[in-house]
Amino acid sequence: MPIIVNLDVMLAKRKMQSKELAEKLGITPVNLSILKTGKAKGIRFDTLEAICKILDCQPGDILEYTEK
């Protein structure tokens, strides 16, 4: 997939664990893991907004487009 999810990078920069982010987002750790591994088919804008707010980042810090 040409969209790369860099959520692990932002979590490491913010010294936050996935479990903590999932709790703050109100989603299960399994659903967050699906997003982190790039297996999600999409992401809701309100979820993306909440992630950016919690991690104090921009959507481009989390999602990256690359040519195959």
Tokens of 14: 């913010």
R_g of the chain, CA atoms, integer Å: 11
d(CA 48, CA 68): 24
Region of 19 on the Ramachandran plot (φ > 0 left; ψ -120 to 50 alpha; else beta): alpha
Residue 33: the pLDDT is: 95
Residue 36: the pLDDT is: 93
**CATH number of 3-61: 1.20.140.10, 1.10.8.100, 1.10.260.40, 3.40.980.10?**
1.10.260.40
Counted residue by residue, the chain has a size of: 68
pLDDT beneath 50: ranges in the chain:
none
Residue 1: the pLDDT is: 62
Residue 14: the pLDDT is: 96
> For residue 5, what is the DSSP state?
E
Looking up tokens 């959520």 gives 7
Ordered by start, the domain boundaries in the chain are 3-61
